[in-house]
Amino acid sequence: MTVPAIELHDVTRRYDDGPPALHDTTLSVAPGEAVAILGPSGSGKSTLLNLIAGLDRPSGGTVTVDGVRVDKLNETGSARYRRAKIGMVFQFFNLLDDLTVIDNVVLPAQLSGVTRSAARLRAAELLDALGVARHAAAYPGRLSGGERQRVAVARALMNRPTLLLADEPTGALDTASGEEVKRLFNDLHADGQTIVLVTHDLPLAESCATRTIRLVDGRVVADDVRAVTTGRGR
Amino acid sequence: MSAMGRVVRSGVARRRVQTVVIALATMMAVTASVLGGSLLAASSGPFDRAFAQQHGAHLTAQFDAARTTAARLMASAGATGVIAAAGPFPTATAAPRDVAAEFDLPPMTIVGRTTPDGEVDHVSLSQGRWVNGPGQIVLSADYPVGPSPLDTDLRFPDLPGQPTLTVVGVARSVGRTADAWASPSDVAALTAPDATGGYQMLYRFAEASTAAHVERGQAAVLALVGSPALLGAQSWLTIKDASEREVALFLPFLVAFGALGLVMSVLVVGTVIAGAVGTATRRIGVLKAIGFTPVQAVRAYVAQALIPATVGIAAGVVAGNLLAIPVLADTDQLYGTTTTGVTWWIDAVVVAGALGMVALTAWAAALRAGRLRTVDAIAVGRTPRPGRGRWAARLTARLPLPRSVSLGLAHPFARPARAAAVLAAIMFGATTVTFAVGVAASLNRVQIAKDHAAADVVIDTFAPPRGTGPAPNTAPRALSADDTAKVTTAIQAQPGTAEYYRVATTQVAVAGMTGFARLDAFTGDASWGGYEMISGRWFTRPGEVTVPSTFLTATGTRIGDSVVLTDHGKAVPVRIVGEVLHPTNNLLVFADAATFAATKPNLTAASYHIRLADGVDVSEYLTGLNSALATSGFTAASEQSTGGSSTIVLLDALAALLTLMLVAVAAMGVLNMVVLDTRERVRDLGIHKALGMTPLQTIAMVIASVLVTGLAGGAIGVTAGVAVHRAVTPAMGDAAGTKLPTSVIDVYQPTMLLLLGLGGLLIAVAGAFLPAGWAARTRTAVALRTE
């Protein structure tokens, strides 16, 4: 029997005295799946993603990723877990403005102790594969939104993560750049990358995800497995 | 509550860390300022100030009770030019013995006074109380006893009935009018049967600023009392000169500390407030966007800075005043003065200055933000302006260091102004530490040189032998030839004696000079005895002398010159071969006793100084030697037990306290800057943590962000500290009337400099440690959401 890539069991996340942001959520994601988390603002999508990434801890329940009990990890353990198993892509890229593109990309590997020269080889491959190799020495501020998101994806893939998490990856992009990113995610999924993406972008979910989970007020209200409608772009 | 009030309140409450830092930084700066200001005030004409406070006596006159009467002396208060007088007070001179410690103390002049107050010479009590009946005595703070003499019983074994008085207080007379005070009836009992009693009169004159004025006043007094009755008189100018010479050595040291404290306080408060308000540019933009006028926004931020600063200032004034109590007590002891604490106007000036500084700095920083176009103010991000320091980021990325460290190393270059402020704080801290360590080392060397205490064992013939004491007097006991032979034989026969010399003290006249010079006549080689040479060499044969700087200055001579010393009417020509470090106001000559063999054949030793062979145990040696000396009636003691300097202890304690204080202020400045920097970088911090940066790596990154500035600040600070030391130390010597040898000025060893330089790094790391921990604990999800 295959170990689930992600397994949440009765997970609740409550902030202060308010209603829970996530309520008794139980779900499982198999390796290689591309899951889109959908839902209106405040439905708990980002909370769910943060819990899976080990950026936050549940108030109750268990979060297991690739056999690791994420909810049990301390800060150092969480950091090491993210380095080893998680790649993250953010809506606003979260690239470090003072570092060049390649220095941004090699950063997760360097934090893991990989030498700069070894990390640069892998980063060059990724940048080349993602079509932004010519910008390696540039600073992120000079790149277009689509290019920045490609750099962010390259950084996320740097340590060959088990799981790629994306939070509104097209949210800050124009249509053309959004399409680029969409194709990129399709390619990654086709290569077997497990992906969880949080999005408002229904077309993105429809084109990239094999499964959509809809959240409303912190509860899973729909969980549909479906076929990808868009083929590989490249 | 008005909109303005709400903005101010929420600003103070929301930015708790910054609010606390502002309060703490202001508190420490104000504490340092109160201390620094008090030191500067205490160091400003300390003698004149204390003399004026005590209504000191311009003339202290000692009269023979057999040649005048109390009534006649009282009448002398009406002499021309006398504006106030006190006395007559009965006086006696006697040598006490500490009953409990079984230790003979130097002879003392005891004055009978029923009260410390009066029109002249308001004696200040520093411990205990004044005498209120017989059997009690108050010691002068200048009398050489231990630090806590209260309740000590002093017996006067040479007087009939061996009267015993209990020490009930310690007091200071700036004019040094007595060694001790007792009730008049006790003074009568302390007068030896064969001695006539004495009276002390204290006078203040309308004009006393010059020696001629004082002499004129004295003449007017004697015109009424009669000159034959006068046993001795002391002008306040003599005491003043001696006091100023004594404190001259310490004055620049304390002034420098005071000035450093004030400069650092201004620097830290300025940077803390400017930094705190400067980071609020975006919020000021938001306030303007919702309808605040620039003036309202500026006022809101000035108020936000003033609230925590006022709390800090209040706490700082309290802390400064409390801390000033022991510090001023120490300076009083150094200066021989009396103070009652921090002067009120220092508190007032510091409070007004700190409030003004906070308001002005906050106003300037907020005005800059307030004048920006609203859209520009809002656009000011919380991260450094892109482009700055990228070269440093590229460079450090290539360093073979853990990435978290190399990331941190590049941080200061992205915020050059802030890095400069951190650098300045560290630099001042390192300068202070370097200067303090250097001055303390120099003063220690001066004091050691002054003590000439290189011997292991000393036999001091000044103290009468225990239990068998003959009548003590102010001169060393005259050793008989037999005594000298016994002591010399005992020393020579004692195993472990490496070498020894003996010193006799007497007086000689110097041709062309009025008065006498003290002559220390040596038998045996004393060049190893702790006599630090400024130039030239120690005398090696009869006819050669070594003298302190004062002698050369007073006689206008130089090394190589010959001078004629006159002894018992016979001229003894000598040649000056060396200048020795020995701060003194008086003429002093060191020479071979053989030089005066013809004129002073019976010079008797005041002390013997013995150096032990390597590996010899001092206590075992002492046991053996004292056993051999038993029949002679003299006692040998280790040099350490006789030569401990309370001045060194005081200076070291002061230096340590003040250094600690200023280093803490410097670290507070660093802390504030790193807090600001960490807050501004909180989103970057979130990204790093999301990418897998562990808490330890986060701490390493934040600490690394101050390493470059810490090292640079340390290096510059040490260089500046050495330079300040090199400038101040010779000035201290000049003020004290002596040149200082290079050994006193060159006190910094390479290892010490390296450690001091690393001190800058330590200040930086200490300041960055708290914010580093805060950064490590920051929740990643929260940091990523931060705009």
Domain that includes residue B155, residue range: 59-207
pLDDT of amino acid B537: 92
* pLDDT given at position B584: 72
Last residue of a domain, which of B380, B407, B441?
B380
Say if B224 falls within a structural domain. Answer: no
Query: Exposure string (b/e) for B664-689, b if CB count within 10 Å is 16 or more?
Result: bbbbbbbbbbbbbbbbbbbbbbbbbb
Same domain, B617 and B691: no
> Which of A56, A111, A139 is nearest residue B691 as measured by Cβ atoms?
A111
**Predicted local confidence at residue B385, as pLDDT:** 57
Residues of A in contact with B780 (CB under 8 A): 55-56, 78
Report the pLDDT value the prediction gives residue B339, as an integer from 0 to 100: 63
Residues B491 and B637 in one domain: yes
Quick one: B563 and B483 in the same domain? Answer: yes
Are residues B655 and B749 located together in one domain of the fold? yes
Q: Could you tell me if residue B223 is inside a domain?
A: no
Residue B250 resides in a domain: no
Contact B684 A155 (CB under 8 A): no
Instruction: Measure A220 CA to nearest chain B CA, in Å.
Output: 22
Q: According to the model, what pLDDT value does residue A85 have? A: 92
Q: How would DSSP label each residue in chain A?
A: -PPPSEEEEEEEE--TTS--SEEEEEEEE-TT-EEEEE--TTSSHHHHHHHHHTSS--SEEEEEETTEEGGG--HHHHHHHHHHHEEEE-TT----TTS-HHHHHHHHHHHTT--HHHHHHHHHHHHHHTT-GGGTTS-GGGS-HHHHHHHHHHHHHTT--SEEEEESTTTTS-HHHHHHHHHHHHHHHHTT-EEEEE-S-HHHHHHH-SEEEEEETTEEEEEEE---SS----
Read off the tokens for B48: 């004149």
Compare all CA atoms of chain A with the CA of B411 and give the residue at the minimum distance. A98
B691 CB contacts (<8 Å, ≥6 apart)? A82, A83, A88, A107, A108, A111, A155
**Structure confidence at residue A64 as a pLDDT band (50, 70, 90):** very high
In this prediction, residue B336 carries a pLDDT of: 61
Q: How far apart are CA B244 and CA B585, in angstroms?
A: 10
| Domain co-membership, B572 together with B706 | no
Same domain, B671 and B774: yes
Tell me how far apart the alpha carbons of residues B642 and B622 are, in angstroms, rounded to a whole number: 14
A33-47, A63-77, B273-287: least confidently modelled range: B273-287
Q: Across the interface, do B779 and A56 touch by the CB < 8 Å criterion?
A: yes
pLDDT number for residue B103? 65
Output the pLDDT for position A230: 43
Chain B residues lying within 8 Å of A112, measured CB to CB: 692
Tens of pLDDT, residue by residue over A192-215, are 899 999 988 888 888 888 899 999
pLDDT digits (tens, 9 = 90+) for A81-106: 998 999 999 888 888 888 899 999 99
Q: Given this model, what pLDDT does residue A123 score?
A: 92
pLDDT of residue B340: 60
Minimum distance, in Å, between the CA of residue A99 and any CA atom of chain B: 7
Q: Look at residue B212 and tell me if it is in a domain.
A: no
Say whether pLDDT at A189 is over 50: yes
Same domain, B742 and B784: yes
* Angle, vertex CA B647, rays to CA B258 and CA B760, nearest 5: 45
Inter-chain contacts counted by CB atoms under 8 A, chains A and B: 82
Residues B355, B306 contacting (CB under 8 angstroms): yes
Closest residue of chain B to A141, computed from CA coordinates: B386
Domains of chain A: 6-225 (3.40.50.300)
pLDDT of A34? 92
Residues B63 and B136 in one domain: yes
Encode burial over B163-198: b for 16+ CB neighbours within 10 A, e otherwise. Answer: bebebbbbbbbbbbbbbbbbbbebbebbbeeeeebb
Alpha-carbon torsion (A116, B772, A161, A225), positive or negative: negative
Among A79, A94, A141, beta carbon nearest to B386: A141
Domain termination site, one of B319, B353, B380: B380
A 38-77: CB under 8 A from B? 50, 53, 55-56, 75-76
Beta carbons of A55 and B692 less than 8 Å apart: no
Q: How many domains does chain B have?
A: 4
Give A124 to chain B, closest Cα distance, Å: 16
Q: Do A111 and B404 touch (CB under 8 A)?
A: yes
Establish if A79 touches chain B: CB-CB under 8 angstroms.
yes
Whether residue B236 lies inside any domain: the answer is no
pLDDT number for residue A31: 93
Alpha carbon distances (Å) from A95 to B163, B273, B476, B578, B686: 90, 31, 86, 74, 11
Residues B22, B1, single domain; the answer is yes
Asked whether residue B229 is assigned to any structural domain, the reply reads: no
* B254 is a domain residue: no
Is the per-residue pLDDT at A60 higher than 90?
Answer: yes
B589 and B462 together in one domain? yes
Contact with chain B for residue A27, Cβ under 8 A: no
Q: Which of B352, B380, B408 is the last residue of a domain?
A: B380
Does B473 share its domain with B611?
Answer: yes
SS3 B509: strand
Q: Which two tokens stand for residue B143?
A: 């009398």
**Tell me, what's the pLDDT at A124?**
93
B535 with B629, same domain: the answer is yes
Say if B226 falls within a structural domain.
no
For position A211, what pLDDT does the model report?
A: 92
* Under-70 pLDDT residues of chain B: 1-4, 7, 11-14, 43-44, 101-107, 144-147, 195, 242, 245-251, 331, 333-341, 375-387, 461-481, 512-515, 568-569, 585, 601, 633, 640-651, 785-787
Q: In this complex, do A96 and B687 lie within 8 Å of one another by their Cβ atoms?
A: yes
